[in-house]
Amino acid sequence: MTPLRQRFIQDLQLRNRSPKTVQAYVFHVRNFARFFNQSPDRLGGDHVHRYLVHLLHEKKASWPHYNQAVSALRFFFTVTCPSDTVVTRLPYGKRPKRLPQVRSREEVARLLGGVRNPTIAMVLRTIYATGLRLGEALALTAAHIDSRQMVLRVVGKGDKERVLPLSALLLSELRVYWRKVRPTQWLFPGKRKDRVLHSSAVQRCCQRVCREQGLARLTPHTLRHCYATHLLEAGTDTRTIQALLGHHRVGTTAIYTHVTMTGLRQVVSPLETLPTLDAAPAAPAVPTATARSVPVPPVTGG
């Protein structure tokens, strides 16, 4: 590892960036340097501009991938190798806004019922019961479960802890799962008990079950969307759902109000409220300009 890369990683760690963020930022800065075959501290604004154009037009990078590359380069040229002229010329791309995909309760039940692997089945049931992200669910240990207070303590994005209500049904299922699987360090281990289950195994299992059940695409993150939407349809307020999901802004949570079927069915089209008329009203008569109809001005005496 070069001293520059080590300093870049240390700068990220000092600002409490997650290991995944550190890995992603190093990946983007390394690719930037490889594109010009030079050390990144010797490159400037023109190089950055050319590289970002390359990402969009030649690599056909998605907007999330592009914006992550911009964030990595911004950090590098702001903290590790400060350069105001470079940072001011790094624009973020405007990501298209898409509504979250939400499935019905029946579709969720079919997915959960079609999983044969007990560990993956329990991961998916936990996600739907608590609204966790897949990474948050896979990082769970027995210490995160507080059966006395019936809560689940989770450390999410940005190393932020939040407390979630623990369903009595989920707790009983977790106990049955525990006696069957006997996990050690991680609640959801992989083939080796000392290693956590890989996220790709869960994703592939969801794809297989969707094909077998004839379901539309349904991922672990879709289950998180379903959790939020189904809570909203049941009457839970947006602020509470925001806290449960760990969203920083309530506006992020408010997007679920656009996809709740209960709310959509309650909307009455103005077409339904138009009055019904038995017959169309007669058109008003238009006077014709004849000699008899021309008014005679009054005669005034002098």
Name the DSSP class of 301: -
160 classed as catalytic: no
Among 133, 144, 153, 162, which one carries the catalytic annotation?
A: 133
Q: How far is CA 297 from CA 286, 289, 294, 300, in A?
A: 22, 16, 9, 9
| Cβ count within 10 A of residue 232 | 22
97 classed as catalytic: no
162 classed as catalytic: no
Half-sphere exposure of 253 (CA within 13 A, CB side): 21
Positions of E strands within 75-150:
145-146
Among 28, 103, 110, 247, which one carries the catalytic annotation?
A: 247
256 classed as catalytic: yes
92 classed as catalytic: no
Q: How far is CA 142 from CA 88, 124, 126, 157, 171, in A?
A: 47, 17, 13, 20, 11
Residue 35's closest CA among 11, 9, 61? 61
- CB-based burial label for 185 (10 Å; 0-12, 13-18, 19+): exposed
Among 217, 221, 239, 249, which one carries the catalytic annotation?
A: 221
Residues 156, 136, 207, 260, CA torsion sign: negative
Helix (H) or strand (E) holding 163: strand 161-165
Rounded CA separation 138/198 (Å): 8
Among 103, 224, 225, 230, which one carries the catalytic annotation?
A: 224
133 classed as catalytic: yes
Among 98, 157, 162, 208, which one carries the catalytic annotation?
A: 157
Name the DSSP class of 98: -
Task: List, by residue number, the catalytic residues.
Answer: 133, 157, 221, 224, 247, 256
